Amino acid sequence: MTDGLRRKLTLAATVLGSSLAFLDASVVIVALPTIERDLDLGLSGQQWVLLSYSLALAALYLVAGAIGDRAGRRAVFVAGTVGFAAASMLAGLAPSAGVLILARVLQGVGGALVTTNSLALLREVYGREAGKAVGLWTAFTGVATIAGPPAGGALVEWASWRWIFFINVPLAAAAIALALAGRSAQREEHRIGALDVPGAVLAATGFGALTYGMVEGAESGFGSLWWAFLLAAASLIAFAVVERRSSEPMLPFELFRRRNFAASNLETFLVYGALGGNFLFLALFLQFLGFTPFEAGLLNIPTSLIMIALAARFGSLADRHGPRFYLSVGPILIGTGTLLLLGLDERSDFWTFGLAGLVLFAVGLAMLVAPITATALSSAPGRYAGIASGVNQTVSRLGNLLAVAAIGLVITLAFHAAGGTEEAVALARGQHDPELRAASIHAFRTGMVVTSLLAFAGALVAALGISNAEAERVKRSEAELEPAAA
């Protein structure tokens, strides 16, 4: 079997495994009302079925990357996929809400191992061509993003909600088979030594508490969750102290002295915050304008199709010419496309301002995603590829959560300032009162201005912080090492 074929099998394995992990964060939403009737979850139970998975992911990305760096990315990817399949089977068989929530936590553990080590494994296998590989990974996981929710809805309606979990088992088996078939004698540069257990516990506690506080605070008020933020701050400060003193730190802080690593992760935090604000509040606003939930979902398909068509191409171009241009222009297009949404007043406006804004947004997103991920990974030495992936994914998820909470707060304040009553909800579906409707439109526009500013800030970070010369030095070092690997 040729090295090229082994690379393709590895890429297929990472796409399939990561798609399963990504989809479980969204497909379950379709099934929640049905699950609630069967297991008597109540509203809080429905929330925790969703949140328990996301919290486990956010808390363990960094830990998962550190494990992959030491134990081997392919082996950890396979182990994570096995764990994800076993947890999916438990979720499908769950007799009660407690068992289902436990299974979702275990799915999150497996999902963190799979997604973090997918990207690190691509870096390891593809070397200096990692940008193109990440672009293909992004494009093909985008296909799953399009097909997943409708397929999940069909399973819930015509079979059982349990099948949205059972279907993961054969797909996970296929991902494992592809990963094992793609094994080769490529360079594997892993760190040695024991896992930094205190650092792992503190990181998981800190990021988990912070994520919990932001997610729950947006719903129930931040004042009542002061303890979560205090716990997060204490844990993360202790994590920094432990890592500074450890001989085998899980997060080597010297990585942040690398210009492209620090700049790409700061840009990730800002721009992924903008993406989270756009995706969530545009979906709500489209239904406020009169689109059904199904129609609102269909209107996002052009964005996904543009991503599928262009993400790998932009990743390849960034490999060839350097990432700075793409990481600067991509967020500008995202921010400009978001500003075009300010022209939405009525449902009919979507076909002018809305469609133009989404196309511009999608092109910018396709220009950004592969180069920014490849830059964040390639800026770190190969032995730190897993931890670099974990840092980047943790930063992206935290940026998303923090921005959504902040933008939601801005929208609520703008709604009430523009005349919205205390009893009314901003962007509520079926809101016909003229004053409330005007207040919601004003609130949406205010939120989108904040969203676009985050994107523009990310562009500024790239323009000032990303160095093509540093990226080229990394590429040359990869090229020098590849003949030895062969």
**pLDDT tens digits for 308-343?**
788 878 888 888 888 999 999 999 999 999 999 999
Range of the domain at 426: 255-486
The token pair at 332 is: 């500008």
Is 400 a domain residue? Answer: yes
Give the predicted TM-score (pTM) of the model.
0.72
Residues 146 and 226 occupy one common structural domain = no
- Residue 224 inside a domain? The answer is yes
Same domain for 263 and 393:
yes
Please give the structure tokens belonging to residue 427: 């962007």
Ranges in the chain, pLDDT < 50: 187-188, 192, 481, 483-486
Judgement on whether residues 341 and 460 belong to the same structural domain of the protein = yes
Task: Note the pLDDT of residue 294.
Answer: 64
Among 241, 276, 258, residue whose Cα is nearest residue 58: 276
Q: Which residues contact 362 (CB under 8 A, 6 or more apart)?
A: 302, 303, 304, 306, 307, 337
224 with 89, same domain?
Answer: no
Rounded Cα distance between 94 and 91, Å, is 5
**Averaged pLDDT of the chain:** 81
Locate 138 and state its tokens.
Answer: 């992004």
Domains contained in the chain, number: 3
Query: In terms of domains, do 269 and 393 share one?
Result: yes
CA 39 – CA 91 distance, rounded (Å):
12
In a domain, 16, yes or no: yes
Q: What pLDDT score does 483 carry?
A: 44
Radius of gyration of the chain (CA): 22
Same domain, yes or no: 236 and 271: no
Instruction: Please report the pLDDT score of residue 126 as a whole number.
Output: 77
Burial class of residue 262, CB neighbours in 10 A (0-12, 13-18, 19+): middle
Contacts of 373 (CB under 8 A, 6+ apart): 119, 134, 138, 392
Same-domain check for residues 234 and 328? no
pLDDT in tens, 96-154: 888 999 999 999 899 989 988 887 788 778 776 666 777 777 767 766 666 666 676 67
> What is the sign of the dihedral through the CA atoms of 378, 381, 385 and 388?
negative
Asked whether residue 297 falls in the same domain as residue 223, the answer is: no
* 139 Cβ contact partners less than 8 Å away, ≥ 6 residues apart: 307, 308, 309, 311, 312
Q: CB of 467 within 8 A of CB of 321?
A: no
User: 221 and 105, same structural domain?
Assistant: no
Nearest to 276 by CA among 117, 412, 395: 395
Distances (CA, A) of 357 to 283, 308, 340, 363: 14, 18, 5, 10
The tokens for 59 are: 């808390």
Q: Residue 310: inside a domain, yes or no?
A: yes
Taking the C-alpha atoms of residue 99 and residue 369, their distance in angstroms, rounded to an integer, is: 36
Q: Are residues 139 and 168 in the same domain?
A: yes
The CATH number that applies at residue 486 is 1.20.1250.20
> CA 18, CA 26: separation in Å to the nearest integer?
13
**What is the amino acid identity at position 38?**
D
Task: Please check whether residue 352 is in contact with residue 343, taking contact to mean a CB–CB distance below 8 angstroms.
Answer: yes
Tell me, yes or no, whether 242 and 273 share the same domain.
no
- Contact between 83 and 113 under an 8 Å Cβ cutoff? The reply is yes
How many Å apart are CA 366 and CA 330, to the nearest integer? 8
